[in-house]
């Protein structure tokens, strides 16, 4: 029997799918080439005699968040998103470059994004502003919240309503805790919980959950680093909206905004019209982009 379903959890070569009647079953992608991820719409084939469900086809994705492997290939992370929520917190020590890279992956993939600062109960508001300051010239919505006290969660709920969103960020920032507060009684894949070196619980696979007021949210495992897939990035701005806006003022239309004369972006960074840290992040990503392109090699197919 054939049916269509949505992938609501993905761990390695196993996925959990939900069909349109709400029935949830385990399934296995048929063949090595199918890279099925959370959020995918798929066609399944149920073998009545073996009681085994195979995913036989991934239906066209509306959007895809993809990361670059060390060889420069694109690896799908989550599909069919409309909103990416980049989560950080005063602790663990934030790595803002990771946030930048998620934001540019979202921007390049046509996915809206917002920056969410959790654990606002831990430090005074002025310290939180210092954390988020560099994202202001990039014009992303910035929300402050606490899964502990509940502050900011109503506003967050408004942003998430009717969206299919993913929570991404470093391990321990509170992604699962926030989702747990938004969806009372949600089971956050407790069977898939593991303990990291510091003894904290860590989410190890992505899972999709229904929000009470409509929309879906995907919890994802924390990361140490994230590189957007290079094929998905816009050549001109690499997905930095503030670079995009200024680049029409550059002397050369193929300006990479590094050392070129007449570069409007570099000038804007020098006079702090755009944030210096974000510009440095752009430069690092430009280097990574070049390295990964080389790693891909000339013989490899580019899309």
Ligand X SMILES: Nc1nc2c(ncn2[C@@H]2O[C@H](COP(=O)(O)OP(=O)(O)OP(=O)(O)O)[C@@H](O)[C@H]2O)c(=O)[nH]1
Q: Taking CB positions, which residue lies at the least distance from ligand X?
A: 222
Query: Which is nearer to Mg ion, 165 or 203 (by Cβ)?
Result: 203
* Contact flag: residue 238 with Zn ion (CB under 5 A): no
Calpha distance 95→258 (Å, rounded): 23
Nearest-approach distance from CB 252 to ligand X, in angstroms? 42
**With 0-12 CB in 10 A as exposed, 13-18 as middle and 19+ as buried, what is 139?**
exposed
Q: How far is CA 269 from CA 102, 104, 121, 264, 283, in A?
A: 21, 18, 33, 9, 12
Query: Which is nearer to Zn ion, 202 or 267 (by Cβ)?
Result: 267
Residue 121 interacting partner from ligand X, Mg ion, Zn ion, none (CB closer than 5 to 8 Å by kind): ligand X
Q: If binding means CB under 5 A, how many residues of this protein chain bind Mg ion?
A: 3
| Footprint on this chain of ligand X (rule: CB under 6 A) | 118-119, 121-122, 146-148, 171-177, 200-203, 221-222
Query: Which is nearer to ligand X, 73 or 148 (by Cβ)?
Result: 148
Residue pair 280/299 in contact by the 8 Å Cβ criterion: no
Nearest-approach distance from CB 165 to ligand X, in angstroms? 15
Calpha distance 289→286 (Å, rounded): 5
Q: Could you give phi then psi for residue 135, rounded to 5 degrees? A: -90, -10
Residue 85 interacting partner from Mg ion, Zn ion, ligand X, none (CB closer than 5 to 8 Å by kind): none
Residue pair 216/165 in contact by the 8 Å Cβ criterion: yes
Q: Which of residues 185-244 bind Mg ion (CB under 5 A)?
A: 203
Q: If binding means CB under 5 A, how many residues of this protein chain bind Zn ion?
A: 5
Calpha distance 300→303 (Å, rounded): 10
Give the CA dihedral 135, 279, 275, 153, nearest 10 degrees. 10
Calpha distance 178→37 (Å, rounded): 22
Query: Which is nearer to ligand X, 85 or 274 (by Cβ)?
Result: 85
Q: Which of residues 243-262 bind Zn ion (CB under 5 A)?
A: 250, 255, 257
Query: Which is nearer to Zn ion, 55 or 250 (by Cβ)?
Result: 250
Query: Which is nearer to Mg ion, 226 or 279 (by Cβ)?
Result: 226
Buried b (16+ CB within 10 A) or exposed e, 218-246: bbbbbbeebbbbbbbbeebbbbbbbbebb
* String marking each residue 145-184 x if it binds Mg ion according to CB under 5 A: ------------------------------xx--------
DSSP label at residue 168: E
Nearest-approach distance from CB 120 to ligand X, in angstroms? 7
Binding site for Zn ion (CB under 5 A): 250, 255, 257, 263, 265
């Amino acid at each position: 029997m054939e049916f269509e379903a949505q992938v609501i959890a993905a761990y390695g070569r196993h996925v959990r799918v939900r069909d349109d009647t709400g029935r949830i079953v385990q399934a296995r992608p048929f063949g090595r080439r199918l890279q099925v991820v959370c959020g995918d719409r798929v066609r399944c084939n149920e073998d009545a005699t073996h009681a085994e469900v195979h995913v036989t086809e991934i239906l066209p994705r509306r959007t895809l968040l993809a990361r670059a492997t060390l060889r420069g290939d694109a690896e799908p992370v989550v599909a069919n998103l409309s909103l990416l929520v980049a989560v950080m917190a005063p602790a663990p020590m934030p790595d803002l470059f990771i946030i930048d890279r998620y934001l540019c992956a979202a921007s390049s993939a046509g996915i809206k994004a917002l920056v969410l600062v959790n654990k606002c109960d831990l430090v005074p508001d002025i310290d939180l502003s210092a954390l988020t300051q560099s994202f202001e010239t990039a014009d992303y919505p910035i929300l402050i919240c606490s899964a502990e006290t509940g502050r900011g969660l109503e506003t967050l709920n408004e942003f998430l309503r009717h969206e299919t969103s993913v929570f991404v960020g470093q391990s321990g920032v509170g992604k699962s805790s926030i989702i747990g507060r938004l969806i009372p009684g949600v089971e956050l894949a407790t069977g898939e919980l593991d303990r990291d070196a510091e003894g904290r619980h860590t989410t190890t696979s992505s899972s999709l959950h229904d929000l009470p007021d409509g929309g879906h949210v995907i919890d994802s495992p924390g990361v140490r680093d994230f590189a957007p897939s290079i094929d998905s990035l816009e050549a001109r701005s690499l997905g930095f909206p503030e670079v995009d806006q200024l680049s029409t003022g550059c002397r050369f239309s193929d300006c990479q905004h590094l050392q070129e004369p007449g570069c409007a972006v570099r000038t804007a960074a020098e006079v702090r019209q755009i944030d210096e840290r974000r510009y440095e992040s752009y430069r690092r990503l430009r280097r990574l982009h070049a390295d990964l392109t080389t790693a891909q090699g000339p013989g490899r197919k580019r899309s």
